[in-house]
Amino acid sequence: MAKKGELSKTARASLAQRDEKDFLTARSCAKCGELIMLKELQPVKVLGAGMVFYHKQHYTIG
Ligand SMILES: [Zn+2]
């Protein structure tokens, strides 16, 4: 049982580590034009234009 707890702790740690790592994508933000880190990527489907991408903090609903 203790071993199982250890494993899940390790798994959680590696997940957290992966989450902290930013990956720069080839997508650029439709608002500011900068490339977007994977963590910040907000894909938005636009009628007639297909997919556009925003930084999460640059995308506002409405
Ligand atoms: Zn942006």
The domain tally of the chain equals 1
Residue 9 lies in a domain: no
Residue 11 lies in a domain: no
Domain hosting 58: range is 23-62
CA–CA distance, 6 with 41 (Å, rounded to integer): 33
Residue in 60, 56, 50, 62 with CA at minimum distance from that of residue 25 = 56
12 Cα: distance to centroid of ligand 1 (angstroms): 30
d(CA 40, CA 23): 9
Ligand 1 center–CA 59 separation, angstroms: 8
pLDDT in tens, the chain (62 residues): 556 656 677 666 665 565 556 688 899 999 999 999 999 999 999 899 899 999 999 998 65
Report how far ligand 1's centroid is from the alpha carbon of 46 (Å): 17
Q: 45 CA distance to ligand 1 centroid (A)?
A: 16
Specify the pLDDT at position 8.
Answer: 72
Q: The whole model's pTM is what?
A: 0.59
